[in-house]
């Protein structure tokens, strides 16, 4: 236990100021996304831009490319939230049928298995399958956030747990702590979005009932 704590402390002390900045912006993104604030996309852009550079510096090209994708999605998410709804209104929270998720998750995991199998000949890693699974699920879930699909927070809950484990295994203690924090934010975000969805659904039913009596 003492060796673990010493190693953890050493990693935290060695963390660069740039990485701390990226972590702060990343936390800001999740908090503001749960609040449905448009500023969340600026935080997302800045955090992923920094992480793109950091991952490239430590020769993690796939993580760098993934964060480049996140930069593009930050711009797309901002556009979707501001222009995606009819009549200029703010886009409302929506849900997907359970059968969609029942088909989507196994399909993504199968794709991750294929990707990790292909990558095994090029990369020497004990965590390729987990790494590929996290990336496949993260990309899909990012689209859910942009389209305000409520279940995105359920996906993030499990993605963040897996990410925290993966980063700890490869010696990235600070990022592991960040993603453990994301686990809590995913619960908070789900409750926030679910409350709005229930309120929107009730108002829609009330509006329909009122039309029947007019």
pLDDT digits (tens, 9 = 90+) for 40-57: 999 999 999 998 988 777
pTM comes to 0.76
C-alpha span between 72 and 66 (Å, rounded): 10
pLDDT of residue 61: 62
Counting the structural domains of the chain, the total is 1
Q: Above 80 in pLDDT, residue 77?
A: yes
Query: Which residues face 149 on adjacent strands?
Result: 94
> Do the domain assignments include residue 133?
yes
The three-point CA angle 141-144-148 to 5° equals: 145
* pLDDT band for position 200 (cuts 50, 70, 90): low
Summarize the confidence of residues 84-104 as an average pLDDT. 80
Summarize the confidence of residues 117-146 as an average pLDDT. 85
* pLDDT band for position 211 (cuts 50, 70, 90): low
Pick from 184, 140, 198, 163: which is nearest to 31 by CA?
Answer: 184
> Do the domain assignments include residue 174?
yes
C-alpha span between 169 and 91 (Å, rounded): 39
Summarize the confidence of residues 30-49 as an average pLDDT. 90
CA atoms within 13 A on the CB side of 19: 18
> Do the domain assignments include residue 134?
yes
> Do the domain assignments include residue 38?
no
Residue 101 belongs to domain spanning: 97-181
> Do the domain assignments include residue 165?
yes
Q: How far apart are the first and last CA of the chain?
A: 70
> Do the domain assignments include residue 172?
yes
Long-range own/partner contacts, residues 75-78 (CB < 8 A, 24 or more apart): 75/41, 75/45, 76/146, 77/40, 77/41, 77/44, 77/142, 77/145, 77/146, 78/38, 78/41, 78/42
> Do the domain assignments include residue 153?
yes
> Do the domain assignments include residue 58?
no
Name every residue whose Cβ is closer than 8 Å to that of residue 54 and which is 6 or more positions away in sequence.
16, 18, 19, 22
C-alpha span between 107 and 13 (Å, rounded): 41
* pLDDT band for position 92 (cuts 50, 70, 90): confident
**Length of the chain, in residues:** 214
Mean pLDDT of all residues belonging to the chain: 83
Dihedral over Cα of 30, 34, 40, 41: its sign: positive
Summarize the confidence of residues 81-106 as an average pLDDT. 82
Of the segments 31-35, 86-90, 107-111, 159-163, which one has the largest average pLDDT value? 107-111
Asked if 19 and 44 count as a contact pair (C-beta separation under 8 A), the reply is no
């Amino acid at each position: 236990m003492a060796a673990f704590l010493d190693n953890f402390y050493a990693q935290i002390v060695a963390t660069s100021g740039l990485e701390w900045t990226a972590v702060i912006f990343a936390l800001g993104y999740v908090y503001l996304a749960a609040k449905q604030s448009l500023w969340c996309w600026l935080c997302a852009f800045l955090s992923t831009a920094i992480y793109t550079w950091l991952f490239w510096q430590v020769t993690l090209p796939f993580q760098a490319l993934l964060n480049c994708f996140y930069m593009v999605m930050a711009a797309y998410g901002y556009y979707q939230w501001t222009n995606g709804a009819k009549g200029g209104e703010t886009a409302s929270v929506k849900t997907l049928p359970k059968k969609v998720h029942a088909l989507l998750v196994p399909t993504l995991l199968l794709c991750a298995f294929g990707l990790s199998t292909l990558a095994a000949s090029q990369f020497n890693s004990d965590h390729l399958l987990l790494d590929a699974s996290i990336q496949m699920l993260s990309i899909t879930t990012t689209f859910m956030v942009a389209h305000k699909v409520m279940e995105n927070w359920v996906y993030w809950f499990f993605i963040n747990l897996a990410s925290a484990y993966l980063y700890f295994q490869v010696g990235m203690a600070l990022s592991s702590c960040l993603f453990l924090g994301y686990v809590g934010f995913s619960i908070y975000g789900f409750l926030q979005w679910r409350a709005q969805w229930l309120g929107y659904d009730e108002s829609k039913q009330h509006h329909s009932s009122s039309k029947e009596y007019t």
